[in-house]
Chain A
Amino acid sequence: MESFFETVKVVPLNHYILLSAIIFSIGVIGVLIRRNAIVVFMSVELMLNAVNLLLTVFSVYGNDPNGQVFVFFIMALAAAEIAIGLAIIVMIHRNTNSIDVDILNRLKW
């Protein structure tokens, strides 16, 4: 078990930041190119998880447990957000028979 954690000791902090930046950018691209509202939501989840991983890495790097507590709070927030968001999507689908985000252009000013 101890030897398994030895693997992390040779990974530079930069590589973790790079991984999180790549995943976050993939989430941004997903929000921009998809029209299905549920897939857009899943891309937002990808972004949240990239930030979660980065917070955990910084927490381990700085030997500070507060970062991992914040990840826990972000997970609780994400759960609440997903419950509300999917309920709104279900309601929109019931009214317009579509979850295409471009249909919702009435939300523009």
Chain B
Amino acid sequence: MSVFYFIAFLSILFSLLVIFAKNPVHSVLYLIITFFTFTIHYIILNAQFLAVVNFIVYMGAILVLFLFVLMMLNLNKDTEPTKSIYVKLAGIIGGGVLLVTLVGAIKLTAKSNPVVLRDVNLGSVQNLGKVLFNEFLLPFEVSSILLLSAMVGAVLLATKEGKPKATTV
């Protein structure tokens, strides 16, 4: 029981550090730790497939992409733009109001039952693979087309065009 609360505390702490760190590189590193705590949450819930996919896709691919772009654009603390304190205060109040609304809405509901893992094989690769390739075969194939088109689009956008950019103005 205390494992969950400890990991939840770490998730909240490191996600706060992500948005309040001045240096963007530090933000990426804190985000990696945050996603690691999410992986631990998945393991506690016995969602083995999601834990592995979260580890590989988010921590391995997406955050390396973030770090790569940060390094390529040569961004650091000196180039970091600063917002005025009033805009920051307004943002924090807006997000806090959203949180209070969500918590109030949860409080209205009845007392909840504990989360019980009824089937140990629920999140296993075998079980999810059966669901994925029977009921969700078409969305799975469509998502492959989505990833392919995203890759082509990213390459098209990021390559320098040789032509003068008079047409883009």
Contact = CB atoms under 8 A, between A and B. Distances in A.
Interface of A: 2, 4-5, 7-19, 21-30, 32-36, 38-39, 41-43, 45-46, 49, 52-53, 56-57, 59-61, 63, 65-66, 68-69, 71-73, 75-84, 86-91, 93-95, 98-100, 102
Between B72, B109, B116, the greatest number of chain A beta carbons within 10 A of the residue's beta carbon is seen for B116
The interface size bin for chain B is 35 or more
Contacts of A72: 49-50, 53, 128, 132
Nearest to B82: A35
Interface in B76-115: 80-83, 87-88, 90-92, 94-96, 98-99, 102-103, 106, 109, 111-115
A39 B66 CA distance: 9
Nearest to B151: A83
Contact of B31 (A42, A76, A89): A42
Contact of A32 (B8, B94, B99, B143): B94
A5 B96 contact: no
Nearest to B91: A32
A88 to B, nearest CB: 6
B66 to A, nearest CB: 7
* Interface of A, helix, strand, loop or mixed by DSSP: helix
Given A9-B114, A12-B112, A38-B66, A68 B49 contact: yes
A60 B123 contact: yes
Interface of B: 1, 3-5, 8, 11-12, 15-16, 18-19, 24, 27-28, 31, 34-35, 38, 41-42, 44-47, 49-50, 53-54, 57-58, 61-62, 65-66, 69-70, 72-73, 75, 80-83, 87-88, 90-92, 94-96, 98-99, 102-103, 106, 109, 111-120, 122-123, 127-128, 131-132, 135-136, 139, 143, 146-147, 149-151, 153-155, 157-158, 160, 165, 168
Contact of B150 (A13, A15, A83): A83
B69 A38 contact: yes
Contacts of A39: 18-19, 24, 27
A53 B41 contact: yes
B120 A5 contact: yes
Nearest 4 Cβ contacts at the A-B interface = A32-B91, A29-B95, A30-B19, A80-B150
A22 B15 CA distance: 10
Contacts of B151: 83
Best-surrounded residue of B19, B66, B83 (most CB of chain A within 10 A): B19
